[in-house]
Amino acid sequence: MSDPVRAVLGQVLAVAIAIALGALVILAVGESPVRVFRVLFLGAFGDATKIAGTLLQTTPILVCGIAACISLRAGLFNIGVEGQLFMGGFAAAWIGFGFSLPPVFHVLLGLAVAALAGLAWIAIPAFFRARYGANEVVSTILSNYVAVLLTSYLTIFLFKRPGGWSETPPIHESAYLPAIFDFSRLNWGIVIGLALAVGVWFYFRATPRGYAITTMGSNPKFAEYGGIDIRRQGFAVLLVSGAVGGLAGGIEALGVHRRFMEGFAPGFGFDGVIAALLANGHPLGTIVTALFFGALRNGSLLLEVDTNASREIITVIQALIILAVSAQILMRRRADSTAGERRWKF
Amino acid sequence: MEVLEKLFNVALVVATIRTTAPILLVALGGSFTTRAGIFNIGLEGQMLVGAFFAVIGSIWTGSALIGVACGVAAALVFALVFALLVVTFRANEVVVGLALNILAGGMTISLMKAIFGTRGSIVGHGIVGLPKLTVPGARDLLGSYAPLVSGFTPLVYVAFLLVPLLVLFYRRTRLGLHIGVVGEKPDAAEAQGLSVTRIRYTASLLCGLLAGLAGAHMSLGYITMFTENMSSGRGFMAVAILIFSNGDPVRLLLGCLLFGFADALSLRLQTFGFPSYLVLTVPYVVALVALFLLAWKTRPKLVRETADSMRRLLSIRPASPER
């Protein structure tokens, strides 16, 4: 068997094992796995509205996944996408309700400020990582908690909608990221996400800078001897990754909720990181994994109505998939241990 | 001034000791894996399943002790899976740790829904909490300072007693030394005939044991309830402390006291009318600042060493003799 075929087969086998384990968990909570999977599938792809809903859920996961891909490429873990998403979401909403601007410009400014907010949010962890080697996994995780609390504070104490409950005023219509169909909140964010995925893939594949980043990720020593300033490059990569995370929040705020509220977009950042990991940091692969997770999420909306299982059962399935895949790839890698070592490859 | 007096008193110290205990337990657990050369980001999840199953065990048997045992057993299962994937399959530690954390979060919520039919939290249902131990004679000897040493739940004493015990463990026992060797020079350990695999498994399981205790203390200690994701980042803070203490029990204790204090202070400040959202960020911000400061402080040595070795490699200049 050729290597790529074996790799894909292995991945499929790992996902199958994870789903089998997931079925056991569903049995353990007293539900029928067949029914749960059926509800999940129909909830995700049952009709046009459901498919649009799946794409709607896919959008933030995809954009967050691309953010994670960018950092993974350089061998860095930006686990703080969730926090950047919250900061970006708040910043975009603030531009949206706080200013009156001409239509198209308003949206673009909102998205740009969202990206800036994400960038600003990762700047300190990125600086200390690049300059002094402070562990970015822990610092970005901890800053997630701060971001969620800080945006809640800003929303409730400084920008609360009069008479509302822990949400900002709605944004002006000029700041709406337009919907694609009239039957769903699905918006142009999905197009932005797909364009980003292709753009990032092309960048890593075809530009010298992209190659330098990939080299840094797969072998930092080699990259350094090759004349790459890995500190500066690492810093820049984390900043861009954070900016994309912020953009994801901007898309959610301007395209879906059209305001910022407490508990805005819970877990999309983490789902994005997992989607990127599952795709092994490949931007195009992340489209597929993000769609898969988006489908799971959208399918799970009906889960609590139609079955006794809680919708968190899908996070269990996601985690099991990651675990199965992480074990499986390494069984393969142990056989050919001369393969280049990538810190983020699992 | 009056506010400060109200804020900083015996009760605050007592509260600090209380809030330090769970994070100290989980950090001491993490010291085993850190010393054995494993970056264990999965502490958070181990703590969470420990807390959940401690509550379940307590409800089903009516015994806090069996509850603690159930919590520890669950954390041990997670630790075993972690070791299996990381040590045997050599999967990436960060990926496996994160996945196990996510699994812990989803699993506890799903099981809560399946068993109790509710979301959010488990309160009541006959959860039996840990008893409070009174140190005999403390009241007479210390008067109003007695709460400083008496009236804590047993796991608080366990946490603080483990610090000197672990110092001895790492310095004086065979296993402790082996763990250190495996962490620092795995090749040398292998050459000495030590089984790196077995020692890393042992370290991971010891870590699960203490993380389970930490979780049990969270849900059966001062509050007897389980809430969704109730570990709320304490496992990650423990990892931050582990990074800058390098798994040394005494430095761990100091770091944990700092966080315990930040935690206790933030609880206090809320009662003084500070917005809770901002106050709750205090422990995380303290953790971040500490992480950054320590990285900044250890830098000179690193840069110096790199510069020296580069110089020697390139032999542009001889290494400075006065060093």
- The full set of domains in chain A, from first to last, is 49-307 (1.10.3470)
Question: Rounded distance, CA A199 to CA A197, Å?
Answer: 5
B95 to chain A: which residues are within 8 Å by CB? 277, 322, 326, 344, 346
Extract the tokens encoding B170: 């790492």
**Residues ≥6 apart with Cβ < 8 Å to B124:** none
pLDDT in tens, B165-211: 988 898 888 888 888 888 888 888 888 888 888 889 999 999 999 99
What is the band of B13 on the pLDDT scale with cuts at 50, 70, 90? confident
Least Cα distance to A155 among A175, A145, A169, A143 occurs for A169
Q: Which of B81, B106, B233 sits opposite A315 (nearest CB)?
A: B106
Spatial contact of A73 and A237, defined as CB atoms under 8 Å apart? yes
Q: What spatial distance separates the first Cα and last Cα of chain B, rounded to whole Å?
A: 50
Q: So what's the pLDDT on residue A345?
A: 38
Least Cα distance to B177 among B189, B187, B165 occurs for B189
pLDDT in tens, B124-161: 777 877 877 777 776 677 666 667 777 788 888 888 98
Residue A261 pairs in a beta bridge with A167
Q: So what's the pLDDT on residue A4?
A: 64
Q: Which of A29, A132, A316 sits opposite B103 (nearest CB)?
A: A316
Question: Rounded distance, CA A276 to CA A286, Å?
Answer: 5
DSSP A342: -
Extract the tokens encoding A277: 């990991």
Spatial contact of B47 and B218, defined as CB atoms under 8 Å apart? yes
What is the band of B320 on the pLDDT scale with cuts at 50, 70, 90? very low
Q: Which of B92, B102, B294 sits opposite A344 (nearest CB)?
A: B92
B96 in contact with A at a CB cutoff of 8 Å? yes
Question: Rounded distance, CA A96 to CA A72, Å?
Answer: 32
Question: Rounded distance, CA A263 to CA A155, Å?
Answer: 11
Give ipTM to 2 decimals. 0.84
What is the band of B4 on the pLDDT scale with cuts at 50, 70, 90? low
- B114, A139: Cβ pair inside 8 Å? no
B109 to chain A: which residues are within 8 Å by CB? 310, 312
What is the band of B2 on the pLDDT scale with cuts at 50, 70, 90? low
> Is 90 exceeded by the pLDDT of residue A242?
yes
Length of chain A counted residue by residue:
346
Q: So what's the pLDDT on residue A84?
A: 94
**Residues ≥6 apart with Cβ < 8 Å to A83:** A121, A140, A143, A144, A145, A146, A147, A148, A245, A269
- B102, A315: Cβ pair inside 8 Å? yes
What is the band of A202 on the pLDDT scale with cuts at 50, 70, 90? very high
B278 to chain A: which residues are within 8 Å by CB? 149-150, 153
Question: Rounded distance, CA B207 to CA B179, Å?
Answer: 12
Q: So what's the pLDDT on residue A59?
A: 93
Q: Which of B92, B106, B291 sits opposite A326 (nearest CB)?
A: B92
B281 to chain A: which residues are within 8 Å by CB? 145-146, 149-150
Q: Which residue is it, tokens 């979780």?
A: B215
Question: Rounded distance, CA A292 to CA A58, Å?
Answer: 8
- Per DSSP bridges, beta strands B225-227 and B121-123 are antiparallel
pLDDT in tens, A22-41: 888 888 877 888 888 888 88
Q: For residue B6, which phi and psi values (nearest 5 degrees)?
A: -65, -30
> Is 80 exceeded by the pLDDT of residue B287?
yes
The amino acid that residue B14 corresponds to is V
Question: Rounded distance, CA B207 to CA A344, Å?
Answer: 24
String of DSSP letters for A213-268: HHHHHH-HHHHHHTT--HHHHHHHHHHHHHHHHHHHHHHIIIIIISS-BTT-STTH
Q: Which of A137, A152, A316 sits opposite B106 (nearest CB)?
A: A316
pLDDT in tens, B50-62: 999 999 999 898 8
Question: Rounded distance, CA A79 to CA A271, Å?
Answer: 10
Q: In angstroms, how far is CA B85 from the centroid of its own chain?
A: 21
Least Cα distance to A176 among A158, A163, A162, A188 occurs for A188
Least Cα distance to A252 among A105, A58, A50 occurs for A58
Q: So what's the pLDDT on residue B8?
A: 67
Interface test with A, best of B92, B234, B245, B299 (most A CBs within 10 A): B92
Residue A111 burial (CB count, 10 A): 26
Spatial contact of B23 and B156, defined as CB atoms under 8 Å apart? no
- B233, A124: Cβ pair inside 8 Å? no
Q: Which of A17-31, B93-107, B222-236 has the highest mean pLDDT?
A: B93-107
Extract the tokens encoding A169: 């005023």
Q: So what's the pLDDT on residue A3?
A: 63
Q: So what's the pLDDT on residue A81?
A: 93
pTM of the model: 0.85
Residue A243 burial (CB count, 10 A): 23
Spatial contact of A189 and A59, defined as CB atoms under 8 Å apart? yes
Q: For residue B106, which phi and psi values (nearest 5 degrees)?
A: -65, -40
> Is 80 exceeded by the pLDDT of residue A127?
yes
H or E segment and range at residue A45:
helix A33-45
Spatial contact of A248 and A64, defined as CB atoms under 8 Å apart? yes
Spatial contact of A104 and A235, defined as CB atoms under 8 Å apart? no
Question: Rounded distance, CA B124 to CA B226, Å?
Answer: 10
The amino acid that residue B213 corresponds to is L
